[in-house]
A and B are shown apart, each in its own frame.
Chain A
Amino acid sequence: MSGLGRVVRSGVARRRVQTAVIGLATTMAVTSSVLGGSLLVASTAPFDDAFAAQRGAHLSAQFDAGKVTPEQLSAPVTGVTASAGPFPTTSVTPSDEGPGDPAPLTVVGRAEPGDGPVDAVTLTDGEWADAPGEVVVSADSPHAHSPTGSGVGRRIPLADGSTLTVVGVARSVSRTADGWVPPSWITSPGGYQVLYRFASAATAEQVDAGRAAVTAALPEGAMTGSQSWLVLKRAADRSIAVFVPFLVAFGVLGLVMSLLVVGNVVAGAVGAGTRRIGILKALGFTPAQVVWAYLAQALIPAAVGTAIGVVAGNLLAIPVLAETEDVYGAVRLTVAPWVDVVVVVAALALVSVTAWASALRAGRLRTVDAIAVGRTPRPGRGRWAARLTARLAVPRPVGLGLARPFARPARALAMVAAVLFGATAVTFAVGLASSLNQLQIARNHNSADVTIGVDGPGGSGPGPGPGVHPRKPEADPAAVSDAISAQAGTRAHYRTSRTRVTVSGVAGATELVSFTGDATWDGYQLVSGRWFTGPGEAVAPTPFLTATGTRVGDTVTLNDGEKSVTVRIVGDVFEMGNDGMVVLTDAATFTSGSTDTSHYIAVRPGTDVTSYVEGLNTALKPLGATARPGRSNQASDTVILINSLTTILTLMLVAVAAMGVLNAVVLDTRERIRDLGVHKALGMTPRQTIAMVIASVVLIGVVGGAVGVPAGVALHRAVLPAMGESAGIGLPASVFAVHDPLTLLLLAIGGSLIAVVGAVPPATWAAKTSTARALRTE
């Protein structure tokens, strides 16, 4: 081994703590960067990725089996580059008595999951249905899950007395069906489904042109419905847009934090090695050799840390991306290899540049000066602080510790920066996670204990394409309401009914939700204005106000084809349904045409919901309605994902911040080992020694926390509106008001805790160090 190699090896082995800190900090930085980077990449365009991977349908079209034949549907159409189908379709209605959701299902007969040119459905669990009575359900369907996990094996009794057995779960990014069955199972199809890909489908006009071409080639009235992929994309993008700023913010925070700490660690390590560099030069090493020697001493642990970090980041990303797949509806998201490459190169380049710059500084020192600098801090710094703390009414070891940061101001500033960034990150993370939880609560606005006629999860989304959700004949809403009122344990209830209306000057349909009864208890949150108080008043979400060019206080005219009603918008309500094209008003405002009635019930405190539901269902049975427990206690996958991410990323950021402090205190403690020996020789006990070292970082923690927490709050307040803006939604006040004084105080204390946690190991080491050995140390 060359002389240079021996020097490097001994340097790495001798400075074990700093070697470990460099390695661990790099591991943390690379792990969080790989995780954050992967999520950022995965979140950039998960719908596009999934759509491309599945060769999604630009147009999902439904045809009347009585007006068109499969042969006609198979004929070539100009502008269509690929098509799948025709597939027979039908609608099945689960029995009320069976487990699960009784909402009707659109099932499509497909022999294969999709090895064709369009809509390659991804089987995520089980196997494809190839025998009569078997069904593969959509992963979005409530039938895809069971109380024990997978829905595979579940039996779905149907209203006609037959039974479907779930043999698989699959995902179609084009949402072409609620379930897939063998074509032979559909003996008399109600319709056919054909999935098209067009040569041009980037705009609504191009998709419309493709639809027109398809329609023109078929008998008039053959197409009963269709769904553009742009509708799905818009809904997906809007949902994702809320979360992208969250991931971007975390990614940036993690990156900057990592840069800061790795830079500090390496610079500190190089600074502490100045005397060693001087000795090497005295022995005949050239400045370039010295620089290389020290660069390698930093790079070796950094390289090991990077390797571990890449593996850890990839392993950690697997479950997180799996969660993301579910949330985004994408398929098989994986860590992009280029993310690994970029992170590795960036991390090593950063360490190299920082170590090189620091080593150059030491390398330029004259040999005699480098030797003299060694461990000796520049005298004279911070003496005023030592004088001041000597007069403070605190135990002397504490006073000695409090003065310490002023003796090494640059190092203290680096520690303050680490704590500050950690506190900022934690405050921001806690605030953002709380806000997103609030957002999810506001989005669900269903604190109802019991519901009747409410679709399962995802019911307000784009749905399974153009076929149809034939509903059962509606129970008499008033009779149902009367039954609810009469049921013991009812605290409050209201009902809604929905209809499609148009608004003058706005293309497309707007959903009108009519309320009977007071719904203000059910979690609807207002961005501005107030809830409607009577007929003629309405509330609407920001997307509707933006689309109609109206503001709170303006009027809009709603038309259902039979009559027009003008309502005054009195509030901007947070409502994500129907892409935000919704108007909520009193039932008396618009009396005709409303269907799709749902009832929402709050029970009295102490009432057992299960017993209540059983009792109410007994009363409802003659009316043909079924009550079910509400969803208020269910945490969404999105919230779970965000909370998991927040926990992981926050812990990492805190760990890196604590490591920054650890490294600095280790350096400081080693530099002062002789002073520590003197203190102990004069009678300083181990406990006093620990108190002194801990006290040396308390001020740093307090300052870092005091500045970092407001910075985190400011960052939260700056990013959150950007999130709302990017999603095109107004955010209710509850989303912003998540930092209460107690939380802020705890977060500020957390800043000090980060510093203290980082200082405990070197403090313990200092307390245990042999006094005699410390006194002998040069």
Chain B
Amino acid sequence: MTTPVIELRDVSRRYDDGPPALDDVTLTVRAGEAVAVLGPSGSGKSTLLNLIAGLDRPDTGIVTVAGERVDGLGEAASARYRRARIGMVFQFFNLLDDLTVADNVVLPAQLAGMARGEAAKRAAELLDQLGVARHANAYPGRLSGGERQRVAVARALMNRPALLLADEPTGALDTASGEDVSALLTELNADGQTLVVVTHDLALARSCTRRTIQLVDGRIAGDVAVEPTR
């Protein structure tokens, strides 16, 4: 059995006086796994993702990612943690419109202090690997949705993260582009990339993950292994 990449122990998070967004969640994701987190709006999916990414802190419980406790990190430490361990892919890509595709991709490495030449080489490799190398000098606004998401994935992989987090990665794409991104994520996982995908899309979950976690009202209502549809 592989080592755990994500470990949540008795994690709860409540916003203001509302009901708990996450309620006593315990969860383990091992290296190389592809996990889909499913659930309706308000079920706690984004909260779970934020806690794993170090964007938020739990009220109680422990969050460990790649052997590092992240539930008590300060702002600077959590930023460094994300650089080193986490790649994030967003529903609306979140590419920076005033930077070229290449400059977008290289940005996490530059923030981490990687040498300029090494970062450029790595970015070129990723863009080539993801099939968008021809757009390296273009601006994101000129790319299709699918291409933008590929660029976003390249950016997320720039620092060779232990964990790739994807928040509704096909939510803003048409069907064809969505299938394209789904295939890409499947390939990445096949190459050993640990993957957590938050989605409403059951088809996406089935196509690119082997395990689904169902959240309802902040609690894990189901955690099952699934057979890939392709």
On A, residues with C-beta under 8 Å from B are 379-383, 386-387, 390, 396-397, 403, 407, 674-675, 677-688, 767-768, 770-772, 775
Contacts and interface: CB of A to CB of B under 8 A. Distances in A.
Given A386-B99, A682-B155, A775-B90, 15 more contacts: A386-B98, A387-B103, A679-B107, A679-B111, A681-B53, A681-B88, A682-B108, A683-B84, A685-B75, A685-B76, A686-B75, A686-B79, A688-B79, A767-B75, A775-B55
Contacts of A680: 79
Nearest to A387: B100
B97 interface: yes
B111 A684 contact: yes
B111 A675 contact: no
B219 interface: no
B106 to A, nearest CB: 8
A525 B149 CA distance: 76
Nearest to A678: B94
Contacts of B82: 681-683
Interface residues of B, number: 30
A674 B91 CA distance: 13
A685 B79 contact: yes
Interface of B: 46, 50, 53, 55-56, 75-76, 79-80, 82-84, 88, 90, 94, 96-100, 103, 107-108, 110-112, 139, 141, 155, 159
A396 B110 contact: yes
Contact of A687 (B56, B76, B96): B76
A684 B110 CA distance: 10
Contacts of A674: 94
Contacts of B96: 675, 678-679
Nearest to A393: B116
B103 A386 contact: yes
Nearest to B100: A387
Nearest to B98: A386
Contacts of B112: 683
A685 to B, nearest CB: 4
* Chain A interface SS verdict (over half): helix
Contacts of A768: 75
Contact of B55 (A686, A767, A772): A772
B76 A686 contact: yes
Contact of A390 (B56, B80, B103): B103
A687 B80 CA distance: 12
A380 B84 CA distance: 32
Contacts of B88: 681-682
14 contacts: A677-B94, A678-B96, A679-B96, A681-B55, A681-B82, A682-B107, A685-B111, A686-B75, A687-B76, A767-B75, A768-B75, A770-B56, A775-B55, A775-B90
Contacts of B50: 772
Query: What are the 9 closest A-B residue pairs judged by CB atoms, nearest first?
Result: A683-B83, A396-B110, A685-B79, A772-B55, A685-B76, A678-B94, A682-B108, A771-B55, A772-B50
B98 A403 contact: yes
A407 B98 contact: yes
Contact of B79 (A379, A403, A684, A770): A684
A50 to B, nearest CB: 63
A405 to B, nearest CB: 12
B103 A397 contact: no
A775 B94 contact: yes
A448 to B, nearest CB: 63
B97 A379 contact: yes
B55 A682 contact: no
B83 A682 contact: yes
B150 to A, nearest CB: 17
B108 A683 contact: yes
A386 B112 CA distance: 19
Nearest to A686: B75
Contacts of A685: 75-76, 79-80, 111
B65 to A, nearest CB: 14
Contacts of A682: 82-83, 88, 107-108, 111, 155
Contacts of B94: 674, 677-678, 681, 775
Residue from A380, A396, A675, A772 with most neighbouring chain B CB atoms (10 Å): A396
A403 B98 CA distance: 10
Nearest to B158: A682
A337 to B, nearest CB: 52
A300 B82 CA distance: 44
Most chain B CB within a 10 A radius of its CB, from A390, A397, A675, A682: A682
A455 to B, nearest CB: 69
A677 to B, nearest CB: 8
Contacts of A688: 79, 111
Nearest to A381: B98
Contacts of A390: 99, 103
Nearest to B87: A682
B158 to A, nearest CB: 9
A222 B110 CA distance: 97
Nearest to B141: A379
Contacts of B103: 386-387, 390
A768 B76 CA distance: 10
A382 B98 CA distance: 8
B111 A397 contact: yes
B197 to A, nearest CB: 16
Contacts of A684: 79, 111
Contact of A683 (B79, B90, B97, B100): B79
Contacts of A681: 53, 55, 82, 88, 94
A735 B94 CA distance: 59
A683 B109 CA distance: 9
A387 B100 CA distance: 8
A329 B139 CA distance: 70
Nearest to A768: B75
Interface centre among B79, B82, B100 (most CB of A within 10 A): B79
Which of A381, A397, A771 has the largest count of B CB atoms less than 10 A from its CB?
A771
